Amino acid sequence: MTDPLSTAAGAAVVFAATNVDDIVVLTVLFVAARTTGRPRRWQIVAGQYAGIAALVGVAAIAAVGLLVVPEPWTGLLGLLPVALGVRALLRRDDDEAPAVVGGMAGVAGVTIANGADNIAVYVPVFRTLAPAEALVFLLVFVAGIGLWCAVGARLGGHPRVVRLVERTGHWLVPVIFMAIGVVILVGSGVVGHLVDLLG
């Protein structure tokens, strides 16, 4: 096994590089929790852990050859945040930010959709890890999720962020979710793949 500190540093880099966009999602969710009460703060944290755990689980299974992850079709998961954003926009109340996600399952779903492309990174990384190194990665990921949630909660409680969402949240929050979905769809290459199939 390589040096545990080096392994932990590598795990931290992998986690941060593949989940930096989750900060935006978490911030929006924590603002929604603060202004509408939905989802609850514990549901955001639990959903984030569940979503990342699902992504890591799929990648680990794929890494040992027991599952073939269809690329770029995982990008179709980008339709989930788009649909949530559209639904929230249609249900919007001009006086408050809509609760785009209502509970833990919704948070987990958005986390999985937003991180579907992470699997492409995790699979080759996990294939190279010894069991002890994989454990270090898992521990770092657990700590990373906690840190990400703390940062999202801090940003989501910042007075300027809260005021911004209170003024514009009825359209801003749904648009952010739709934008995240579009980025997932386009970035995964699934749109080009569909065009090729239909062309």
Per-residue pLDDT at 127: 85
Q: What share of the chain is helix, strand, coil (3-state, %, to 5)?
A: 80, 0, 20
CA angle 172/178/180 to nearest 5° reads 100
**Does residue 178 carry a pLDDT above 90?**
no
> From CA 66, how far away is CA 38, in angstroms rounded?
38
3-state secondary structure of 96: strand
| β-bridge partners, 96 | 93
- 22-49, pLDDT tens digit by residue? 888 898 889 888 877 888 999 999 999 9
**Max mean pLDDT range (13-22, 143-152, 171-180):** 143-152
- 104-138, pLDDT tens digit by residue? 998 998 888 888 778 878 888 888 888 899 999 99
- The structural domain count of the chain equals 1
**Does residue 197 carry a pLDDT above 60?**
yes
Per-residue pLDDT at 96: 54
Q: How confident is the model at residue 144 (pLDDT cuts 50, 70, 90)?
A: very high
> From CA 87, how far away is CA 66, in angstroms rounded?
36
Cα 164 to the center of its chain, rounded Å: 22
- Structural domain of residue 119, as residue ranges? 4-198
Q: Are 61 and 136 in contact (CB under 8 A)?
A: no
Residue 141 has which token pair? Answer: 């990921």
Per-residue pLDDT at 53: 94
More confident residue, 110 or 188: 110
**Max mean pLDDT range (43-52, 77-86, 154-163, 174-183):** 43-52
Q: How far apart are the first and last CA of the chain?
A: 50
